[in-house]
């Protein structure tokens, strides 16, 4: 009888674009249903390939394997495929700009700035650019790199921007975690309490889809409120520095020399 289980683990891995080792690791974590055994050989079917595809998509959206494992093992009224697909759909409105690949020679033109050895090393070390085997490069987050290139054109050193990126990621991560926690404690908690009713699935997805622009709008509004204060503080600092004969926090005068000591008379 044809059960549809015709793929060995090697064929399954090849069709899923994974290594056999990865497939076996997923199976060991309980992320895959058991194979159909014929003798001592396990055969896999379309449901296994679909599961691997969902896992790969969730990983691309930033889900850790441990989180995916929890989704698979904690699905009270849904199949694992439905639960994984639901989370994948929930992530869709927040999907980042897709990675960009190009020949290495095209990178300076795309950035709009020169790429010397130091710049190239900084980009690679910060994982902002990745090298591929075919002489091409991959930019995982094009929007972030474009913003950095624009700041370089404004005269800011790349090394300082790389350091700022780490700080920015930390602060933005805290903000996004706050919004997700709010969603978890309210809309999602109510949905779970009611047993994850299928008829409300679309409503929950609508909330998720609307949450990103709402969060972005709130973040931008707060930024616009705080930026003038920061600039005002900077201008006050510069004004005080010039009045006292120093250029600012470095303690150097506008001409570059240390401020002269005052005489006691």
- Tell me, rounded to whole angstroms, the distance of Cα 117 from its chain centroid: 27
Classify strands 100-103 and 136-139 as parallel, antiparallel or unpaired.
antiparallel
Residues paired with residue 100 on neighbouring β-strands, in sequence order: 139
Cβ pair 65, 29 in contact under 8 A? yes
- Tell me, rounded to whole angstroms, the distance of Cα 245 from its chain centroid: 46
The reported pLDDT for the residue numbered 122 is 84
The reported pLDDT for the residue numbered 262 is 44
Whole-angstrom Cα distance, residue 139 to residue 124?
A: 10
42 backbone dihedrals φ, ψ, rounded to 5°: -95, 135
The reported pLDDT for the residue numbered 246 is 58
The reported pLDDT for the residue numbered 252 is 46
The reported pLDDT for the residue numbered 11 is 93
The reported pLDDT for the residue numbered 74 is 61
pLDDT per residue as tens, the chain (265 positions): 344 568 999 999 999 999 999 999 999 888 888 898 888 889 999 889 988 988 887 787 667 788 778 777 765 545 666 767 766 666 666 666 788 899 988 998 998 888 888 888 888 888 889 998 888 999 988 888 888 888 888 888 887 888 888 888 888 888 888 888 888 899 888 888 888 788 887 788 788 778 877 888 888 888 888 888 888 887 778 777 777 765 545 444 444 444 444 444 4
Domains and CATH numbers, the chain: 9-94 (1.10.1660.10), 97-156 (no CATH), 163-251 (no CATH)
Whole-angstrom Cα distance, residue 49 to residue 44?
A: 8
Long-range contacts of 41-48 (CB under 8 A, 24+ apart): 41/8, 42/8, 42/9, 43/3, 43/5, 43/6, 43/7, 43/8, 44/5, 44/7, 44/8, 44/9, 44/11, 44/12, 45/3, 45/4, 45/5, 45/6, 45/7, 46/4, 47/81, 48/7, 48/12
The reported pLDDT for the residue numbered 92 is 63
């Amino acid at each position: 009888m044809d059960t549809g289980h015709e793929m060995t683990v090697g064929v399954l891995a090849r069709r899923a674009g994974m290594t056999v080792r990865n497939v076996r690791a997923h199976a060991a974590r309980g992320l895959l249903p058991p194979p159909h055994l014929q003798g001592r050989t396990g055969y896999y079917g379309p449901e296994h390939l679909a599961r691997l595809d969902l896992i790969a998509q969730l990983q691309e959206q930033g889900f850790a394997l441990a989180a995916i494992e929890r989704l698979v093992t904690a699905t009270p009224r849904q199949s694992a495929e439905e639960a994984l697909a639901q989370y994948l759909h929930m992530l869709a409105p927040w999907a980042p700009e897709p990675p960009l690949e190009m020949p290495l020679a095209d990178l300076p033109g795309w950035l709009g700035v020169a790429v010397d050895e130091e710049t190239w090393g900084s980009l690679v070390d910060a994982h902002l650019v990745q090298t591929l085997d075919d002489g091409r490069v991959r930019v995982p987050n094009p929007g972030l790199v474009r913003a950095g290139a624009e700041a370089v054109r404004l005269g800011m050193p790349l090394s300082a921007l790389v350091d700022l990126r780490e700080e920015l990621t930390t602060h933005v991560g805290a903000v996004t975690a706050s919004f997700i926690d709010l969603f978890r404690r309210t809309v999602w908690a109510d949905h779970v309490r009611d047993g994850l009713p299928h008829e409300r699935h679309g409503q929950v997805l609508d909330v998720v889809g609307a949450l990103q622009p709402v969060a972005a709008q709130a973040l931008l509004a707060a930024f616009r409120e705080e930026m003038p204060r920061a600039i005002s503080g900077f201008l006050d600092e510069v004004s005080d520095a010039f009045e006292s004969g120093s250029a600012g926090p470095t303690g150097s005068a506008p001409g570059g020399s240390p401020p002269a000591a005052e005489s006691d008379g």
